[in-house]
A = this chain, B = another copy of it.
Amino acid sequence: MIEISSDVIRGYNDTMILFILRQGPSYGYEISKQIKQMTDGKYIIKETTLYSAFTRMEKNGFIESFPGEADRRTYYRITENGLSYYKEKCEEWELTKEVVERFISKSFTEEQNGYNN
């Protein structure tokens, strides 16, 4: 079973979180469930990774926290800076993808039948 290496995802956890927060404020547990659901369980973000991302991004001004009104949760909303950052990461992703793909042999990927080498 192939798993996603955390080295690759490193630096894109923030992007995933921001993607979800673009749809409206949310909190840790729900975001983690959404990531799991959106990836069909292929990627499950670790709790500590998630919460340390919150701290980092709040410090960087990408998100803002506020307490839930009817519950104990800490909610987060995306800021203008966070939106800009998200946008940059999207552009960066396209570039990165293009670059990495030049070093990937398509014959090894699942879509192929393996007859070409």
Q: Which A residues form the contact surface with B (CB < 8 A)?
A: 2-5, 7-12, 15-16, 19, 22, 38-39, 42-43, 86-88, 90-105, 108-111
Instruction: For A11, list chain B residues within 8 Å (CB).
Output: 5, 7-8, 10
Q: Is the interface of A mostly helix, strand, loop or mixed?
A: helix
Instruction: For A22, list chain B residues within 8 Å (CB).
Output: 105
The one of B9, B12, B90 in contact with A105, judged by C-beta atoms closer than 8 angstroms, is B90
Instruction: For A99, list chain B residues within 8 Å (CB).
Output: 4, 39, 42-43
Q: A5-B92, A8-B92, A15-B103 are in contact. List 14 more A-B contacts (CB 8 A).
A: A2-B88, A2-B91, A7-B10, A7-B11, A8-B10, A19-B104, A42-B99, A86-B108, A90-B104, A90-B105, A91-B108, A93-B109, A94-B109, A94-B111
